[in-house]
Each structure stands twice: as C-alpha cells, then as structure tokens.
Structure 1
Amino acid sequence: MDPLTIGILGGGIFAGMTAASLVALKGWQGWLELKHFELTHDAADRHLPPAGNRIEMADLRERVRKLEAIAAGIDL
C-alpha cells in the first residue's frame, strides 16, 4: 500500500475517533448536569407527595364529585 493512502486512512480514523470521543464527552457532561439538577432540586420537592399519589388523589376527587352529582340527580 502507498504511504499516502495509509496516512489518509490513519488521519480519517483519528478524526472519526476524535469526533466520537467529543460526542461521548458531551453526553457524559449532560448526564452529570441532569444528576446534579436532580440532587439539588430534590430537596425542594420533599414536602410534596409523589406524582403518582397526586394523580390518584385527583382521580379519587373526580370520582367523588361525579358520585355527588349522581346523588344530587345532576347529569354530567
């Protein structure tokens, strides 16, 4: 093989590995930022019940409202 071809292939492989490394580094930094955000903002939401419980409470309130309407003879 020609030394120029080997150099071009080597340079292309090096450039591709560099680009892949930079993309992976950017993803890692984004993941670290997400975890930092979760840790710092978790303390503010500790007094609130989990989202699943809030949804269940809203569902139960809606059911009670409908049952009260049925008991009162109001069509929804």
Structure 2
Amino acid sequence: MFEPTVIIAAASLVGLCVTAMALLKAWQGWLSLKQRELESQSRDIEGSVGMTGGVGAARIEIADLKERIKKLEAIASGVDL
C-alpha cells in the first residue's frame, strides 16, 4: 500500500514538527523567566538605590564608580591626570 520510504519520511517530518514545537515552547518559557528576572531586579534596584530613577540612576552610579576606578588606577601607575 505505502512505500516504506514514504512512511519513514512522514514519521520523520512529524517527529521534526514535534521537536520544533517543544523547543519553541521551551524558548518562550525561558524568555518569560528572564523577563520576570529583569522585572524583579529593576524593583530591587529601585528599592536599594532609594531613587525614583531606577535603572537609569543605577547606570549613572555605575558609570561614576568606573570613572573613580580609572582615576585610582592612574594614580597607582603614576600617571598624572
């Protein structure tokens, strides 16, 4: 009735579709997990920084700390700014 090659090809196609759907569902779950992590981090940053700026204020603070580190490294190496 059916050729064995057709049956194998159809089964492979079905298996590929099932695998693709499972991977897509896992990817969407991982993305939603990361989104929830980012939202909780932004709420934690707003609470710990004590500013209403949230992430923007934290980035400014990090940039300020990086500038201080550069100045301290320059002082340690003997370079005059």
TM range (shorter): 0.5 to 0.7
Q: Give the count of matched residue pairs.
A: 67
Structure 2: give runs of 5+ residues left out of the alignment: 50-56
AA aligned to 2:62 is: I
Residue 8 in structure 1 maps to residue 11 in structure 2: no
AA aligned to 1:36 is: R
Q: Any runs of at least 4 consecutive aligned residues in structure 1 with deviations exceeding 6 A, and if so which?
A: none
Q: 2:64 aligns with which of 49, 53, 57?
A: 57
1:4-58 deviation line (CA, Å, top 9, x unaligned): 221111000000111111111111100001111112232110143323x123312
Structure 1: give runs of 5+ residues left out of the alignment: 70-74
Over the matched positions of the two proteins, sequence identity in percent amounts to 6
Indicate the RMSD between aligned Cα atoms, in angstroms: 2.7
AA aligned to 2:61 is: R
- Which TM-score applies when normalising by structure 2? 0.62
- Which TM-score applies when normalising by structure 1? 0.65
